[in-house]
């Protein structure tokens, strides 16, 4: 399954989502060069909405990612999801 994923350098997605990061990922999801690398044809690109995933740090999250990355949808956007990741500490 294809995803466009982004990892912002802040933990602001624990509290809320921010439109600037979402707009950036939307641009990636419509970039023809990226879509071609994901295996989409020119015809596919006219109709496809690629899943987008924001990976954000959350030390209260689990260390192991779930198999289903579509658990936490961002309701105001189509096929946008977010997933917390517990970062290792030294």
Q: Which of 40, 15, 20 is nearest to 30 (CA)?
A: 40
- pLDDT on residue 80: 86
> What is the tens place of the pLDDT at every residue in 2-46?
777 766 655 555 555 567 778 888 888 888 898 899 898 988 888
- pLDDT on residue 8: 63
Measured distance CA(26)–CA(9) in Å, rounded: 18
- pLDDT on residue 67: 86
Higher pLDDT, 85 or 17: 85
Q: Dihedrals φ, ψ of 5, to 5°?
A: -120, 150
Mean of all residue pLDDT scores within the chain: 80
| 8 A C-beta contact, residue 55 and residue 81 | no
pTM score, whole prediction? 0.68
């Amino acid at each position: 399954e294809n995803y466009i994923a982004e990892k912002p350098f802040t933990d602001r997605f624990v509290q809320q989502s921010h439109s600037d990061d979402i707009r950036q990922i939307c641009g990636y999801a419509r970039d023809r060069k990226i879509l071609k690398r994901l295996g989409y044809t020119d015809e596919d690109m006219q109709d496809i909405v690629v899943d987008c995933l924001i990976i954000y740090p959350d030390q209260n999250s689990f260390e192991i990612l779930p198999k289903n990355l579509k658990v936490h949808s961002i309701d105001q956007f189509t096929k946008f999801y977010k997933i917390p990741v517990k970062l290792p500490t030294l």
